[in-house]
């Protein structure tokens, strides 16, 4: 394995997230119009299929921490990439709902395994003081993946199968990169490691509130991720190729989410949360009101991309702050909740589209977004004693400090570096 700097690891993580989140998961909505036409599927069927990768994402994330512990970060990342390659190939060869569903389900497993593998590796490679910022940069990789998907819909209009074959090739390159650069991370805990302190009731209460907000945001965002291009095609009379500009706007604006979530992390998370949710609701309303105006539709995509990536980055860093010693759990819970919200929202918006039409369905989700924004003052604050956490340690010492004890039961502190990995 080749050693990476903090910046190098952040960029590698962003690239792997771009493949696993951007291409394997969120690019699907971009190709819904041509897939739907060729395979002759209804909006409700598309809604159910759109929920499958979110369900498999949740299932994968439940086992991902165990996988990272037992298989190691490198093997888990490689396994994630292999699921991505297989899923993308299946989608490219889909002949109906079953094969298409199997492909997107496998892509969801790829997505669910990747971030826990990266956070496990981050404990060894990255300075503790940089964990939040590096996580935010990696999270912004989703936007990069979405941007990469755009040229395929712009220049390969109707050739969605070829597009997914190209995505599979990129995923295969990601597998090689993961094997080369991701550290294995020892699965052996030092013999003198004390068990981590139990999570307090106060922490559980704040994590529960964080997860509820993440679920609600995921529910709201499902409308845009799955049906925004379809709405623009059916109500706005835009071509499938022109909808690519929407995803380009989502991806470009989403890159700013890393900066916004980092600023919110050090200032007022609750206010930022409310503002970003209002922006997301506005993006739904703008697209529903003017789907035939490419400039307004593009602006709605910019607003959606910035708000979505800012919120996911904020949830990620809040989870790290609330459970600073449990990187395999703190960031996982809000991501699970967000995915569950998207899995619940996808079929609901599909049914609403069939019952009331695209405009009314998006308007209903817009109202729900505003209601959630109103209760954002209940967004969890950070623990008062988090500033007492050590700064700047790296490697296994950063992973195990405050857990290692000497023969007398006292913390080893800086002497923890005597614990070596096999």
Residue 42 has pLDDT above 70, yes or no: yes
Residue 104 has pLDDT above 50, yes or no: yes
Is 344 among the domain residues? yes
Task: Provide the pLDDT for residue 157.
Answer: 61
Residue 110 has pLDDT above 90, yes or no: yes
At residue 404, the 3 state secondary structure works out as strand
CA distance 238 to 245: 11
Task: Provide the pLDDT for residue 156.
Answer: 67
Count: domains in the chain: 1
Contact status, residue 309 vs residue 251, Cβ threshold 8 Å: no
Q: What are phi and psi of 226, to 5 degrees?
A: -95, -40
Which pLDDT band, with edges at 50, 70 and 90, does 364 fall under?
Answer: very high
Which pLDDT band, with edges at 50, 70 and 90, does 325 fall under?
Answer: low
Is 124 among the domain residues? yes
Minimal CA–CA distance to 49: which of 91, 107, 101? 101
Q: What is the pTM of this model?
A: 0.72
Is 245 among the domain residues? yes
The strand pairing partners of 411, in sequence order, are: 405
Residue 196 has pLDDT above 60, yes or no: no
CA distance 354 to 141: 33
Q: State the CATH number of the domain containing residue 248.
A: 1.20.1250.20
Range of the domain at 373: 6-186+199-382
Minimal CA–CA distance to 58: which of 126, 13, 113? 113
Is 20 among the domain residues? yes
Between 400 and 74, name the one with better pLDDT. 74
Is 24 among the domain residues? yes
pLDDT tens digits, 116-154: 888 878 877 777 767 767 877 887 788 888 788 777 777
User: Average per-residue pLDDT in the chain?
Assistant: 80
Is 414 among the domain residues? no
pLDDT tens digits, 255-294: 887 677 667 666 778 888 999 999 999 999 999 888 878 8
Which pLDDT band, with edges at 50, 70 and 90, does 373 fall under?
Answer: very high
Is 402 among the domain residues? no
Is 59 among the domain residues? yes
């Amino acid at each position: 394995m080749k050693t990476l700097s903090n910046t190098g690891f952040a960029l590698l993580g962003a690239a792997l997230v771009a493949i696993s989140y951007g291409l394997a998961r969120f690019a699907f909505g971009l190709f819904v119009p041509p897939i739907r036409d060729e395979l002759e599927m209804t909006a409700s069927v598309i809604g159910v299929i759109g929920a499958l990768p979110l369900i498999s994402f949740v299932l994968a994330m439940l086992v991902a921490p165990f996988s990272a512990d037992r298989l190691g970060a490198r093997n888990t990342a490689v396994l994630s990439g292999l699921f991505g390659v297989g899923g993308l190939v299946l989608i490219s060869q889909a002949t109906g709902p079953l094969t298409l569903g199997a492909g997107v389900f496998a892509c969801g497993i790829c997505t669910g395994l990747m971030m826990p593998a990266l956070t496990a590796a981050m404990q060894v490679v990255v300075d503790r003081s940089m964990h939040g910022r590096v996580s935010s940069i990696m999270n912004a990789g989703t936007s990069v993946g979405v941007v990469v998907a755009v040229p395929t819909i712009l220049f390969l209009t109707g050739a969605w199968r070829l597009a997914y074959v190209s995505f599979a090739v990129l995923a295969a390159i990601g597998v090689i990169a993961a094997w080369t650069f991701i550290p294995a991370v020892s699965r052996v805990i030092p013999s003198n490691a004390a068990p981590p302190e139990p999570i307090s009731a106060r922490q559980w209460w704040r994590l529960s509130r964080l997860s509820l907000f993440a679920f609600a945001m995921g529910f709201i965002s499902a409308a845009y991720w799955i049906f925004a291009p379809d709405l623009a095609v059916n109500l706005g009379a835009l071509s499938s190729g022109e909808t690519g500009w929407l995803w380009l706007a989502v991806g470009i604006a989403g890159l700013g989410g890393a900066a916004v979530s980092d600023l919110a992390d050090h200032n007022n998370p609750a206010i930022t949360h409310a503002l970003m949710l209002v922006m997301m609701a506005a993006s739904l309303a703008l697209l529903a009101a003017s789907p035939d105006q490419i400039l307004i539709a593009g602006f709605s995509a910019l607003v959606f991309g910035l708000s979505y990536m800012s919120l996911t980055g904020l949830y990620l860093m809040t989870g790290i702050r609330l459970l600073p010693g449990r990187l395999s759990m703190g960031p996982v819970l809000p991501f699970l909740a967000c995915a569950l919200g998207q899995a619940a929202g996808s079929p609901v918006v599909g049914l609403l589209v069939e019952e009331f039409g695209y405009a009314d369905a998006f308007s209903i989700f817009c109202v729900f977004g505003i209601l959630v924004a109103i209760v954002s003052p209940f967004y969890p604050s950070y623990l008062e004693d988090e500033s007492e956490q050590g700064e700047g340690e790296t490697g296994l010492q950063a992973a195990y400090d405050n857990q290692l004890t000497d023969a007398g039961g006292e913390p080893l502190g800086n002497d923890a570096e005597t614990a070596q990995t096999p």
